[in-house]
Structure 1
């Protein structure tokens, strides 16, 4: 299917709306569930398993993203999107009926397996029906969905658990997903490449083992202890077997054309970096606000929301900027904004206001929105139709992998610094975040612990800054030309 045929599709606005609905469904899932989790834990119990509710969702999503991308190239976008979305909705319905925390974790795994199709395939579908020149602006619309979800999700989750059963938190997405599928069924013309190849099952197995072992080791390192090293070894061994198999496979999961393109490789590296840098703010800025500044969860959430507002605004702007300058200039500008915002985090001190943290989050969000959109558009515009699905999915997968790696690395940096600075304190962050434990400390002890936690967090932000500089280096490898 040629680019000219793509742009000749009628009712493209309805296809865009359907894609935005699907993206909204996936985006709001993260924020609405996080808000409702304290209520869910209070009813189901199993607080020790709390982290797995989020980890297993991310794990199964990350494992399935590249598989859906390849299947979309082989079987067609519409069919694979329907399979993934149906699985996501089934998992959502089952989550609402979960009788215990262990069942909720199992159903979240099902939900994550379906979620792996939504982000890459909505972006691929939009790339199929809009020309390379139009994609830059249209992807901004998709990104704006995340900004809306960041505001609507927490408010909706809080309202639901206050007036209804927590089950509705999971069920609210069902009608959204059904409407999205019906719209695509009506207006999106199915198409697929010329290939008649089957999915590489052996390669898929090695990929799933590699990703599962690696992400589990990264996400649950503290809980697993020495077993995390065992899982890391499994990941390395299975990755070696995957590479070996891919070189010999007649239908590799990741066609060689992907790795021969400097733009596609740079796009994946860029999103890996963005995912890692993002965790410096998403995971640790709330700790600063609530622990060091003594703020409330609402204030921490409000500061983070500034990042989610800056992201879609910059994503939309980057589309116009690319058309007037180049991919490279836009990505480099976004990287500079990311560096500036992360540098602002290093200037935070104990007496800094919440608004200052919000400004830093906004600047970081603009940098991430500009770089991520530019990398994605550059990759999609350089990819042939027959591999566009897996290329788009690889970009999404890289960001997920970067998020997991960033969380693990920065968490280790924080824990190491706390152990060196406050060896006599058991979980000092919890001591200053829990109101009862905070009030139990003497004024001198409290100020000492706060100061040492602040210094430890500064090291986390310093690591995030180094990662942000890496995005500027990677931006040099994408084309210095406009979308055509």
Structure 2
């Protein structure tokens, strides 16, 4: 009897992995595309004659992703995960094909936007499917599977992008175009796997799309994103003022519309009356900001302070990746064995805070201290990711698994975008103010960063240290908020028995 039970468990796990296979490939492509462009964007923009606008290659993608992430989750609760996943991946591949064949910079930005419209569903739907398939306590082990994929793709992205972009021609085609063409065969395979295996039991709750809420939300996000991207640019102050007004108007309009729509809203505000859900989303946002700040500042410190190459500096991020996997693995084990989640959130944010504080103190003291600091950042990210990925959909119950998962994903991405924009703006502005550094020099990604004067290096450390310290303080505020999480353990089973297959 025991042998039969073991065989059944193995069979169930095999079926779950089959279901997740297409989702995993889709998530890999989406994660890779977020980071691969970071090292390749100067080459791509230069080849199309628009070097000054290279940031739009990232902004257009992230803006579309942020807007559509909550929409996919909400719609998938009514129309099924598989249908929405195939639509999302199809849009991503169409955008990839457009980007690969772009002959003008404007068309490339448009293609990246279409990619982003699809990418918004690839993350959130993956975690929602896990919540559909397995009970809360078992979700950690499968979340670890996706965290490992996301982490490996994020770390490989900059290396892959730099290598491909540096090749003038590959099979007679400009090297950078293969960055986007690479997505096509893998994406088609992912669609095939999804159509064959992605049959998810769920309770469907259909309703009309809240268009007014979506539009006001889009105005808010786009305005804030462009404002963040322009913080370190020469954009005139009057345009920034209008962006701020547009963003504030969009936010107020969004809140008013969502209040009026109540449970028909695409982001129902009553979700945030749930203390577990509201605090989880907040923690995801600040953890997303913390992780991206670490990922961006670490290679800069390696190049500026220690004169190593961009590739060598990027290898430091492997330490972060190892910490991330360790933290996520430990978190998965805790959730599976005990069902406890509150302690993971607190421990993760404490690790973040310690990482930033140690980073600030050892900024110019050698690689050992920095390596330990970024390792702690990775551990913190892994713990918080496990906590939030499981508790966000759990808090809202089975009826809103997709919405809970997508809002949590949005919060993490939103925190990343805001953290990247404002931290680098503060760092670069402070560095220029201290030593009169040329803005073109400090924003490049080439070897000039390795050969700065001792005075410029010292002023960089003075500019970077407050950013790290403030980040650590924000994480400590997060710890104080995490203490307010309700005590409890995750259920051993699903929270609703009524399901239908999509």
What TM-score results when the alignment is normalised by the length of structure 1?
0.90
CA distance in 1, matches of 2:85, 2:308: 42
**How far is the alpha carbon of 1:320 from its aligned partner?**
0.6
What TM-score results when the alignment is normalised by the length of structure 2?
0.87
1:113 correspondence with 2:99: no
Equivalent residue, structure 2, for 1:475 = 482
Cα contact 1:144–1:313 (8 A) shared by 2: no
Equivalent residue, structure 2, for 1:3 = none
**How far is the alpha carbon of 1:332 from its aligned partner?**
1.3
Equivalent residue, structure 2, for 1:253 = 266
Q: How many residues align structurally?
A: 471
1:392 correspondence with 2:399: no
1:335 correspondence with 2:342: no
**How far is the alpha carbon of 1:300 from its aligned partner?**
1.6
1:344 correspondence with 2:358: yes
Cα RMSD for the two superposed structures: 2.5
Cα deviation per residue 1:361-382 (whole Å; 9 max; x = unaligned)?
A: 2220111110122022111222
Cα contact 1:69–1:390 (8 A) shared by 2: yes
Cα deviation per residue 1:127-158 (whole Å; 9 max; x = unaligned)?
A: 11111111011101110002322444344445
Q: Which runs of 5+ in 2 are unaligned?
A: 1-10, 492-502
Equivalent residue, structure 2, for 1:25 = 29
1:426 correspondence with 2:430: no
* Secondary structure of 1:254's aligned partner: coil
Equivalent residue, structure 2, for 1:61 = 65
1:311 correspondence with 2:321: no
Of residues 240, 250, 263, the one that matches 1:238 is 250
**How far is the alpha carbon of 1:24 from its aligned partner?**
1.0
Equivalent residue, structure 2, for 1:34 = 38
CA distance in 2, matches of 1:437, 1:479: 47
Change (3 A) 1:387 1:429: same
**How far is the alpha carbon of 1:86 from its aligned partner?**
0.4
- Superposition map of 1:67-466 within 5 A: 67-161=71-165, 162=167, 164=170, 165-191=175-201, 193-223=203-233, 224-226=235-237, 227-249=239-261, 251-325=264-338, 326-353=340-367, 355-422=368-435, 424-427=436-439, 430=442, 435=447, 446-466=453-473
**How far is the alpha carbon of 1:183 from its aligned partner?**
1.7
CA distance in 1, matches of 2:437, 2:43: 30
Moved more, 114-123 or 343-352: 343-352
Change (3 A) 1:286 1:8: closer
**How far is the alpha carbon of 1:15 from its aligned partner?**
0.9
Cα deviation per residue 1:297-317 (whole Å; 9 max; x = unaligned)?
A: 012211123222321331122
CA distance in 2, matches of 1:195, 1:17: 26
CA distance in 1, matches of 2:366, 2:310: 17
CA distance in 2, matches of 1:195, 1:436: 56
Equivalent residue, structure 2, for 1:4 = none
* Secondary structure of 2:55's aligned partner: helix
CA distance in 1, matches of 2:484, 2:187: 38
Change (3 A) 1:238 1:305: same
CA distance in 2, matches of 1:407, 1:11: 39
**How far is the alpha carbon of 1:58 from its aligned partner?**
0.8
Q: Which runs of 5+ in 1 are unaligned?
A: 1-6
Cα contact 2:132–2:200 (8 A) shared by 1: no
Cα contact 2:82–2:200 (8 A) shared by 1: yes
CA distance in 2, matches of 1:214, 1:126: 32
